[in-house]
Structure 1
C-alpha cells in the first residue's frame, strides 16, 4: 500500500492538527496511569506501618517490622499481577479490539483497590494473604492499562505529535506517585494530630495506636477514586480507526468514527479495505517472517524495559530504606507508626515533585524534537553515572553533612529515568509493530519490564539487607548492603544503554511506515490463516 494509496482515514489522522479530542484522550487514558502509579507505589508508604501493626513482638523494645519474605510478597505481588495482565490484555486488545476491554481493566482496578483496603482475617497471616490476593488482581487490571492506553493513544495521534501525546499519557504516572505521597501525608497528619503524647518518642511499645490500622487501609482504598471518575468516558470512546479499518476491516465504521472526532468528512473506502483484506500478510506472530522483520526490535524494546524497571522499581519501592540508611529518615524507634508514614510520604513527595514529575514532562516537550532514541541514551547514561557516583564513595555520603548532596544526586537518577528510558520504553513499542500485533507486542515488552520490576523488588530487598548487627539493632539497613545494590543498579543501567541500539527511531514517521505495513500491503501476498 503506497503512501498515496493509503486509506484516507489514516492519512487524516496522521495529518490532523492538535484538537480537543487529543487532550480528552490524554486525560481519559492518563487517569488510568495516574491510578496505576498511585496503586503500585503507595504500598511502599505503608509497609513499615504493616510491620509495626502486625509483627510487633510482645515485650520487645523495638518496633515490629515485616519479615523479608512477607515484605517482598506485599511489595512484589502486584507486579506479578501486572505482568500477567500485560500479556493477557495485550493479546486480547488485538483479538477483540482496544475499546472492548478498556473499561474492564479500569473496573478491575477500582474493585481491587477497595478490596485491598478491606483485607481481612483473624490472624496476621490471613490479613497479609488477603492483601496479597487482592493486590495481585489489582496488578492484573493495571497491567492491561499499559498496552491498551499506549496503543489507543498512538493510533489516535498525528505522526508529528504522537510521541508527545503517548508520553503525556505515561507522564500521568508522575502525578500518581506525587498524589500517593500527598494523600498519605494528609491521612497520616489527620490521625497523628490525635496522638501527640510524649511517650511515643520514648516508648515504641505504645507507639502504634489501634487507629493506625485505619491509616493504611484508607490510603490504599483512595486509589479507586481517580479510576471511577474516568470509567464513563472510557466507555464512550470509539474504537481506533486503525483497528477498525486494518484489523476488523470495517472502513465505514472507521470513517464514521473519525469524521465525528475530527469534524471533517472522510470517505469510507470500503472497496479499498476489501482489496487490502485480499492481500493479507502471510506471517503471524513469532513466525520466521515476523522474527526477520521485527524480532530485533521486540528484543530491543523488551530488554531495555526489563533493565530499566529493575533499577526504577528498586529505587521507588525501597527509597525509604535508602533514606533511612543515610539518616535522612530517622530510625523507627524515634517516632510513632503514624508519624513514620508521614515522614516517609514527605520524602517520596519531595523526590516526586523535584525530579520525577519534571523528568516526565521534559520528555513530553522534547520527544518529537530530539527523538526517542536520543532521550533513551541520555537517560541511561546519566542514570549510570549518578548510580556509580553514589555507590563508590558511599561512606562519604552517609556523613550527616553530606546527606543533602546524596538526596540531590539520588533525585537526579529519577529525573533521568523519566527524561529517559522510563518514558521512551512505553512509547516506542506502540509505534513500531503492525496494527494486528501492536497491543500484543507492547504487552510483551511491558511484561518484560515488569519481570525486571519483580527482580528489582525481590532482589533489592535481600541485597540491601542488614549486614552489620549493630546497625541492624539501630533500626536501619547497614551501609554495605545499600552500596552493593547501587553498584548493581549502575551496571544494569549501563547494559540498558547498550541494548538501546536495537531500538529504531520513530520520530515523524507514520505507524504504517514504521511497522512496514505500507510495504507489506503494496507487495501483497497470500492470505495468512
Structure 2
C-alpha cells in the first residue's frame, strides 16, 4: 500500500491544490524576504534619526545585519529537527506566529530617544524574527517536495522560493510609499529639513510592522493543510491516515488515480534504524549533507554580500539628499528596480527550466556567470564616476543569474536528497550553513570595505546626510577578489560532491544511497575474505 500512495504522488497530474500549496508555503518566504531585505533603507533612516552627524559604527552596523541571520540559522536547525520529530504541519504554524509577533515587536522597539536602547531592542526582536524565518525554510521546502510529483517537483519548490522576489519588491514598494506619505504629510518642513522630524521615527517602525500582514493572512490556511502523506506513511507508519490525507490533497479517490505499474517507484526501505549523525548516516548521507551545506554556505557569502552592495552603489551615485525620507526612498527605489528587472525574472526562469535542464547544470553555469562580477567590480572601483550605470546593469545581470542558478538550486536540492525521517533536519542544517555564510560575507565585507566620507566639493566630511560615502578602493578590490575565489570553490564542490536529482522520486534518491552502501559492504567483506590471514586459514 505505501507503494501505491507514493506512486500516486509521483504520477499525479497538476491540480489546483498544488498551486494553493505554493501560495500557502510561499507566503512564508515572501514574509522572510520582506523582513530581511527592508533593513537596508531602514538603517539609513535610523542613522539619520539617532546618530545625527555621526555615521553608524561598523560594529553596530554589522550586528544589525547579522542578528536576524543568526536567528535564522538557529531557527532552521531547531524547526527543521522538530519537523522530523513531531511532523511538518504541527510546527509549520508556530514559525509563522513567531514571524507575525516579532514583526510587530520590531515596530514597538522600546525607547524613542536613546539610540543604544533602540538598537538593542530592535536587535532582540529581529533575532526572534529570524527564528521564525529560519523555521519556514526547511518546512516549506520539505512540504512542497513531498506534495509534488516527480516531473514538476523542482518547478513547484522553485515557485515557493520565488516568492522571495515578490517579497523584496513589496518591501521596497512599502518603504517608498511610507516615506512619500510621511514626506507629503510633513509639508515643507519634512521635505527640506536635514534634521530629523519626529514622524520619521514612526515611519521606519511602520515599515517593519507591515511585514506581519501577509504572514497573518495565510496563517488560517496553513493550519488547514494536512500532514504530508510521505511523512505519515514512512515516518509514522500510518498508511490509513496517509491514504485519507492523499484523498484530501488530490481531491479524488485513490481508485481514480491512474498508476502505471512499470513506472512505479521501487519499494522504499523501511524507516532507517540508524540515528542522525551516526556512522551509518554519515556513510550513506554524509557526502550529500556536506555538498548541500557547502554549496549553500558559499552561495550566500556572495549573494548577501552583493545585496549589501546596494547601499554602496546608492551612496556612490552622487545624488544629493534633502531629507531622511529621500535617503530611504532612493535605496528602496533602486532595490525595487533590481527586483523587478532582474531578481524576479531570474526566479521564474528557474521555475520554467529547472525540470528541463537539471539542477547541476544551472548550478555550475550560474556560478560561472557570477564569477565575472568580482572581476568587473574591481575594474569599476577605479572608474566609479564614469562607469556607474554600466556597473548597475552588470549588477542586475548578476542577480538574474544568481537566482536562475545557485541561489534557488541550493534551496531545492536538500529537499530531494535525504530520507523522509531526516529530510527537514538536513535541509535546516544546509540552510543554517548558508546563513552563517551570509554572516561571514556581510560582516567581512563591512569590515574590509570601511568607508570614508567626503563633501561634495571633495573635502573631508564628517558623515552628514549630504556627504558622499566612498569605500576604500584598495579594500574594495580585495573583497571582490575574495568573492571570486569563493565562486571557484563553489564550482569545485558542485563538480565533485553534488548529485543530480531531476526526474526521480524522492524514494529513488534515497534508495540509490542505500544500494551504494550495500555495495561498499560487499566490497569490504570481499576484501576481508581475501586478506592474507584468511587465505592462510584456508
- TM-score, normalised with respect to structure 1: 0.89
Question: What is the CA-CA distance between 1:280 and the residue it aligns to?
Answer: 4.5
Moved more, 364-373 or 449-458: 449-458
Q: How does 1:104-123 map to 2 (within 5 A)?
A: 104-121=94-111, 123=114
Secondary structure at the counterpart of residue 470 of structure 2: coil
Question: What is the CA-CA distance between 1:199 and the residue it aligns to?
Answer: 9.6
Q: How does 1:349-364 map to 2 (within 5 A)?
A: 349-364=336-351
Task: For residues 4-46 of structure 1, give each alpha carbon's deviation from its aligned partner in whole angstroms, at most 9, with x where no partner exists.
Answer: x862111000000100010000000000000000001101111
Question: What is the CA-CA distance between 1:483 and the residue it aligns to?
Answer: 3.2
Question: What is the CA-CA distance between 1:330 and the residue it aligns to?
Answer: 2.5
Contact conserved, 2:79 with 2:428, CA < 8 A, in 1?
yes
Q: 1:504 aligns with which of 481, 484, 499?
A: 499
Separation in 2, partners of 1:478, 1:471: 14
Q: Give runs of ≥4 in structure 1 deviating > 6 Å.
A: none
Moved more, 235-244 or 257-266: 257-266
Question: What is the CA-CA distance between 1:358 and the residue it aligns to?
Answer: 0.6
Structure 1 residues 311 and 221 mapped into 2: Cα distance closer, same or farther (>3 Å)?
same
Question: What is the CA-CA distance between 1:227 and the residue it aligns to?
Answer: 0.2
Instruction: Determine if the alignment matches structure 1 residue 264 to structure 2 residue 252.
Output: yes
Instruction: Determine if the alignment matches structure 1 residue 222 to structure 2 residue 207.
Output: no
Separation in 1, partners of 2:15, 2:438: 36
Q: 1:130 aligns with which of 93, 102, 121?
A: 121
Instruction: Determine if the alignment matches structure 1 residue 321 to structure 2 residue 312.
Output: yes
Instruction: Determine if the alignment matches structure 1 residue 341 to structure 2 residue 341.
Output: no
> Residue 201 of structure 2 aligns with which residue?
213
> Residue 526 of structure 1 aligns with which residue?
none
> Residue 272 of structure 1 aligns with which residue?
none
Separation in 2, partners of 1:513, 1:362: 27
Separation in 1, partners of 2:491, 2:218: 36
Secondary structure at the counterpart of residue 374 of structure 1: helix
Task: For residues 412-446 of structure 1, give each alpha carbon's deviation from its aligned partner in whole angstroms, at most 9, with x where no partner exists.
Answer: 11111100111000000000100000000000000
> Residue 153 of structure 1 aligns with which residue?
144
> Residue 87 of structure 1 aligns with which residue?
77
Contact conserved, 1:188 with 1:342, CA < 8 A, in 2?
yes
> Residue 101 of structure 1 aligns with which residue?
91
Q: How does 1:30-49 map to 2 (within 5 A)?
A: 30-49=26-45
Question: What is the CA-CA distance between 1:315 and the residue it aligns to?
Answer: 1.7
> Residue 261 of structure 2 aligns with which residue?
none
Task: For residues 382-422 of structure 1, give each alpha carbon's deviation from its aligned partner in whole angstroms, at most 9, with x where no partner exists.
Answer: 000122122135312x124x221110001111111100111
Identify unmatched segments of 5+ residues in structure 2: 256-266, 519-538
Contact conserved, 1:472 with 1:478, CA < 8 A, in 2?
no
Q: How does 1:136-215 map to 2 (within 5 A)?
A: 136-195=127-186, 197=188, 204=194, 206=195, 208-215=196-203
Separation in 2, partners of 1:135, 1:199: 28
Moved more, 292-301 or 21-30: 292-301
Q: How does 1:235-384 map to 2 (within 5 A)?
A: 235-266=223-254, 279-325=270-316, 327=317, 330=319, 334-384=321-371
Task: For residues 325-381 of structure 1, give each alpha carbon's deviation from its aligned partner in whole angstroms, at most 9, with x where no partner exists.
Answer: 3x2x635xx321111111111011111111111111111110000001111111111
Identify unmatched segments of 5+ residues in structure 1: 57-62, 268-275, 524-529
Separation in 1, partners of 2:357, 2:268: 37
Secondary structure at the counterpart of residue 238 of structure 1: coil
> Residue 260 of structure 2 aligns with which residue?
none
Separation in 1, partners of 2:99, 2:491: 33
Structure 1 residues 132 and 289 mapped into 2: Cα distance closer, same or farther (>3 Å)?
same
Contact conserved, 2:268 with 2:511, CA < 8 A, in 1?
no
Structure 1 residues 472 and 30 mapped into 2: Cα distance closer, same or farther (>3 Å)?
farther
Question: What is the CA-CA distance between 1:468 and the residue it aligns to?
Answer: 7.6
Report the RMSD for the aligned CA atoms in angstroms.
2.2
Aligned residues: 496
Secondary structure at the counterpart of residue 413 of structure 2: helix
Question: What is the CA-CA distance between 1:217 and the residue it aligns to?
Answer: 0.4
Secondary structure at the counterpart of residue 65 of structure 2: helix
Structure 1 residues 467 and 494 mapped into 2: Cα distance closer, same or farther (>3 Å)?
farther
Structure 1 residues 425 and 405 mapped into 2: Cα distance closer, same or farther (>3 Å)?
same
Structure 1 residues 51 and 96 mapped into 2: Cα distance closer, same or farther (>3 Å)?
same
Separation in 1, partners of 2:172, 2:432: 26
Separation in 2, partners of 1:375, 1:199: 48
